[in-house]
Amino acid sequence: MEYKAMFNNWYRVRVLAGIVLVLVFSGHSAAEERSQSETVDYKFIKINNSQFNFFALKSKDELKKYSKILYFPMSSSKLVLKKSGDSDIDRSWKRATPDDWLNFTSAFDVMVPKYFPDDKIFSLTDKPAPDVLSVQFRLVEYMPRVHRKGELGQATVGRQEVRNYGDIIIMIMLVDSVTRETIGVASDGLSLGAGTLLAKSASTSSQMIGWQRAYEIWLNKLRTQLENSHAN
C-alpha cells in the first residue's frame, strides 16, 4: 500500500499558519480542555528530517526528559470537512454525527497500547509526573473521495482518485503533563488508500481499514520520532 504525502510547499505554509493560530487562540495548551491559567509557548524550533511533514519543539532537546506517555483520546472536535467536488459525497459526510466520528477516533485509541508497550521507553501511564509527556492526536481536515457509506458520487465516476477514500490531516500536541505547557507540535497528511478495491464498492468497514492503515503509519512515526529525539 502506498500513501502519498499531501503537503507541497504551499500546503505546508497553510498548515503551519493554522498550527500557530491553534496555539495562540485555542485557550488551552494541554491535550485536553483546561483552565485559563495555563500558558502556551508558541516559539518552536522546527526539527529537520523528522518523521512528520512538520515537527517542532520548544527546544531540540525537549523530549530527553520524558520516558512515559499520558495519552488523551483522539479528538475530532475541530475537524474541518473540505469539499470533495461532489455534492452527494459532501452531503453524506455533513450528516455524520459525533457518534459516527467517535467510531473513527476510538479505532485509533484502541491501537495506541500496541505501539507503547510497558517493556519499552515511552510506555503508557495514567498519572502526570515530571517524566511524563501528554500526547493527543487531533483530526484537523478531511477531504472525502467517497460517500460515507461507500457509494460513489456522479462527479467522481471514472477518476483515478476513486481508488483512495480521502485525504486526511492530523495534528499532534505534545504537552508537559505537570506544567501543562505545550512543548511540541506535529502535523502530517496522508491519502487513505483503498488498495485494489474500487471505492464505489467499498463498505464502511472497508473504509475503516483504510483509516486504520493510516493510523498505523502515524503511530509508527510517533514511536520513531520520540525514540530518535530522546536518543540524539
DSSP class of residue 129?
-
Total number of domains constituting the chain: 1
Q: Where is pLDDT greater, at 112 or 26?
A: 112
Residue-number span of the structural domain to which 87 is assigned: 9-231
> Tell me: the pLDDT tens digits for 159-169?
434 568 899 99
Please indicate, yes or no, if residue 153 is contained in any of the structural domains.
yes
Please indicate, yes or no, if residue 1 is contained in any of the structural domains.
no
> Tell me: the pLDDT tens digits for 44-89?
899 988 999 999 999 989 999 999 999 999 999 999 999 998 898 9
Strand partners, 187: 54, 171
140 CB burial (10 A radius; 0-12, 13-18, 19+): buried
Please indicate, yes or no, if residue 4 is contained in any of the structural domains.
no
> Tell me: the pLDDT tens digits for 3-18?
333 333 333 434 444 4
Please indicate, yes or no, if residue 84 is contained in any of the structural domains.
yes
Please indicate, yes or no, if residue 2 is contained in any of the structural domains.
no
Rounded distance, CA 52 to CA 48, Å? 10
pLDDT of residue 35: 33
What torsion, rounded to 10 degrees, do the Cα atoms 226, 186, 212, 159 define?
Answer: -140
For the chain, counts of helices (H) and of strands (E): 5, 8
Please indicate, yes or no, if residue 37 is contained in any of the structural domains.
yes
